[in-house]
Amino acid sequence: MKKTILFLSCLVLTLSLNAQTSVSGYVSTVNQNQQISKHIYGHFSEHLGRCIYDGFWVDKSLNVKKEGRIRMDIVDALKAINIPNLRWPGGCFADEYHWRDGIGAPNSRPKMVNTNWGGVTEDNSFGTHEFLELCKLLGTEPYISGNVGSGTVEEMSKWVEYLNFDGESPMSKLRKENGRTEPWKVSFWGVGNESWGCGGNMTAEYYADQFNRYATYSRDYPGTKLKKVAGGANSDDYNWTDVLMRKSRNQMWGLSLHYYAIPTGSWGNKGSATDFEEQEYFSSMKNALRMDELVTKHSAVMDKYDPAKKVALVVDEWGIWTNVEPGTNPGFLYQQNSLRDALVAGSTLNIFNNHSDRVKMANLAQTVNVLQALILTEKDKMLLTPTYWVFDMYKTHQEATLLPVKFTSPNYVVNNKSLPSVNISASKDKNGVVHLTMVNLDAKNNIPVKLNFEDLNWSKAVGTILTSAKFTDYNSFDQPNKIKPAAFNGASKNGDQLQLSLPPLSVVAITLN
């Protein structure tokens, strides 16, 4: 009898979870003024594995187009997605990096051991000047993370002076001696990184005092006001956010948040990047969607001290983190990039767009050959990952006006656990054109979508889709174009209503003309 009751209960739960089979909703287009900052679409380049060395910065003998030693096929690919900012030199590496070791004649720079990532020796041939030349070639804003963990207030203060002061001083003189007359006017400035962990194992109270001290001496020079980003919380440490907002909010432009989606939920065995079943795919997406909860709750803490939302939430490390590829250095964090990763990226960017009243900046980890990379290289070969193509499809949201979308979604159910099948964000660009990005996480089912619009004249829907047969599919050097965007012709106009059907495992971008 008990078994029968249990079976019937599970059946009722399953039927109720699957009762809804389509998305219906409403897009508000009138009197909206919340801008989606382009800096939400930022990236991260740490001295880790093959991101800098053998990624952006290659051997002189490598047979690829280069500017000095900067690899230009990577630069061209990133320019194509309008990369708005690039974070450097870390990550954990930032708090063991001493900037003076990376300036001057390359053959006179001291070597260093990268104790965080693989114990490799670096020659410091890629330093401040090289990074800022890379940013110039990319047409992007630099975001530099300063050393609080093993550095000094004087060291950070003088780095800012070296970068930004245009008058007579010891640091501006040194900069000129190293070949740069004009200051770079770097604005985004991280004061330490993960100070609760690899950046010093500090308490929130201690770090808040250190942030206030370091930030005080990180000066605003004429023509450049620093946007100082305080090292924020690990995942759901809301106390850290509370302490920093209470003690330090008046000195910061932004407060960071780091969160990685671990497929298995276990740091000991995070799961394969390409070899997994539906249950692990489901848990990956469940963990990725937790970003919405984290942003909501950290924003609520910030609202207590900053109801006007003057302090930005800066999610400057996010992405999916799996086990490294078999046979690679475990300290290099090289992982493949599957369709699952693209669905994580699309869903996360939709979350950030919809929270753009507080989230003003974010940085995917990382750009080349590390974690959820946009680009993978193998000697002279280079490929664009499924995640890269999501950023290409979503670039229309940069600096556009957020259009709130109210909708209900069916659930994607695996083993009686559920998550929303569909997530959406929408915006209107400066020309008045409306763009929607939608993700269907369901591994098996097409999801019909019907959306109404408030006072919007449009005649045609133009679409792009990114999908593949399996969530484990990926681009390889043998098949670099297995997953790439294609035209989506499944959207239509019925009266004033947009109608379409989202295929399983798909990211779809729609433009209304």
Residues annotated catalytic, as ranges: 194, 317
Q: Are 69 and 57 in contact (CB under 8 A)?
A: yes
Q: For the beta carbon of residue 391, count every other beta carbon within 10 angstroms.
A: 23
Residues 446-471 as b or e (16 or more Cβ within 10 Å = b): bbebebebeebeeeebebbbbbbeeb
Residue type, 460: K
Terminal Cα distance for the chain, rounded:
60
For 426-490, the three-class secondary structure string (H helix, E strand, C coil) is: EEECCCCCEEEEEEECCCCCCEEEEEEECCCCCCCEEEEEEECCCCCCECCCCCCCCCCCEEECC
DSSP state, residue 338 = B
**Bridge partners for 440 per DSSP:** 422, 506
| Neighbour tally for 429: CB within 10 Å | 16
- Cβ atoms 396, 429 nearer than 8 A: yes
Alpha-carbon distance 183 to 204, whole Å?
34
- CA-nearest of 431, 425, 489 to 458 is 431
* Size (the chain), residues: 513
Which stretch of DSSP H or E encloses residue 42? strand 42-44
CB 370 within 8 A of CB 332: yes
